[in-house]
A and B are shown apart, each in its own frame.
Chain A
Amino acid sequence: MDRYAVFVPKLLPRQECFLPDAPVSCKGCGESMAVRQVYKALAADVIQKGTWKIPWKQPLPELKGSEKGEMFSPSLLRIPKAGKQVLSICFDNEALMVKGALGKAFWKKHMPAVAVADGVYYVATACPGYPFDLMEKVRKAYHAPGDAFLHILCPCPVGWDFDASLSVKIGKLAVDSTLFPLYEVINGKYFLTIETPQPRPVKDYIRYQGRCKDLTEAAVDEIQKMVKLDYQKLLSTV
């Protein structure tokens, strides 16, 4: 990526690829925001060719969580590329979407690390709070000479129980508190795309959310400790 590239929202393609007529999403949905940004990024390359119809999400039936018997099913978008390669995009709203949004208390499975270990050429994490970062990664993933996997954190106002106008801010806070660091892995090499030399405390991210209202001080401290450890582990691989 060019380090001094200029990003102007005014110059984005005006073509609207994601406009479902049926009311499929709640208000302030982070997932539909992410889907729309992904389609905006791909519009110039993929959609004008007209070789495939635009899919909405395909639910992944069973993906084992970290604890025994726990399952979660993130929605996954698979976009075929040239030469039997696939760009998979995981829209993660951190909920057990079996019947509505259920909350379960266990540490999240680290999907990008699994993809890296699996030998996927291009792996990246993204968040709709940083839209140009997301679009750049989608474009890069589509043009990568190999399989690609994107993990996108989508704030969910209903499942996480916060005000609908905060979706973008919550996404930014998740990145700034290093709970969800943005990085990309090209052929096994890690690169940080957004550096946070002075991360914000995780408490800033947690206090907006109704799903975390039962957390005690000790639990918050433990989460902070885990986040710090994870980030240091990530920094050591860069």
Chain B
Amino acid sequence: MSTWEHNKVGCILLEKNQAQPFKKGDKRTQKPAWDTDKCTKCALCYLYCPDAAIREKADGLFEADPDYCKGCGICARECWFGAISMVEER
């Protein structure tokens, strides 16, 4: 059985804090989309978002900040009215 000493060197990190320049939302595969007809502006998605990514727009509707949203899908599952759906990130 081979242990870690036998592995070849994959890469060497020369600096620390290499994840700093990346945003929290860079890794997501899905993003939430709001159906404006079904949304009642109840702000439940705003309350449940773990990353504080959902913000209120001027007209009272909500949108996800692309820098912070990780695409977990909690807002889509917890919306009482089914107004949020997860769409594939392109």
Q: Is the CB of A168 within 8 A of B78?
A: yes
Cα distance A13–B48 in the bound complex, in angstroms? 14
CB distance from A137 to the nearest CB of B (A): 16
Q: Does A192 contact B (CB under 8 A)?
A: no
Q: Is the CB of B43 within 8 A of A9?
A: yes
Interface size class, chain A: 20 to 34
Q: Is the CB of A167 within 8 A of B44?
A: no
> B58-90: contact bitstring with A at CB < 8 Å (1 yes, 0 no)?
000000000010111110111000000000000
With A9-B46, A22-B20, A23-B19 as known contacts, state yes or no: A167 contacts B74, CB within 8 Å: yes
Cα distance A27–B30 in the bound complex, in angstroms? 12
Q: Is the CB of B43 within 8 A of A168?
A: no
Q: Is the CB of B51 within 8 A of A32?
A: yes
Q: Is the CB of A165 within 8 A of B41?
A: no
With A9-B47, A165-B74, A168-B74 as known contacts, state yes or no: A27 contacts B28, CB within 8 Å: yes
**Chain B residues positioned under 8 Å from A157 (CB to CB):** 72
Q: Is the CB of B48 within 8 A of A164?
A: no
Q: Is the CB of B50 within 8 A of A29?
A: yes
Q: Is the CB of B48 within 8 A of A168?
A: yes
Shortest Cβ distance from A10 into B: residue: B43
CB distance from B44 to the nearest CB of A (A): 5
Cα distance A167–B72 in the bound complex, in angstroms? 9
Q: Does A78 contact B (CB under 8 A)?
A: no
Q: Is the CB of B19 within 8 A of A32?
A: no
Q: Residue A27 contacts which of B19, B22, B72 (CB distance < 8 angstroms)? A: B72
Q: Is the CB of B50 within 8 A of A32?
A: yes
CB distance from B29 to the nearest CB of A (A): 10
Q: Give the interface centre of B42, B50, B70, B72 by most chain A CB atoms within 10 Å.
A: B50
Q: Residue B24 contacts which of A9, A23, A164 (CB distance < 8 angstroms)? A: A23
**Chain B residues positioned under 8 Å from A32 (CB to CB):** 50-51
Ordered by A's residue number, 11 sampled pairs between the chains whose C-beta atoms are within 8 Å are A25-B51, A27-B50, A27-B71, A28-B73, A33-B48, A36-B50, A36-B52, A165-B77, A168-B48, A168-B78, A169-B78
Known: A9-B43, A25-B50, A25-B51. 18 other contacts (CB 8 A): A10-B41, A12-B47, A19-B68, A23-B24, A27-B72, A28-B74, A30-B50, A32-B50, A33-B49, A33-B50, A33-B74, A163-B73, A164-B74, A165-B76, A167-B50, A167-B72, A168-B77, A169-B77
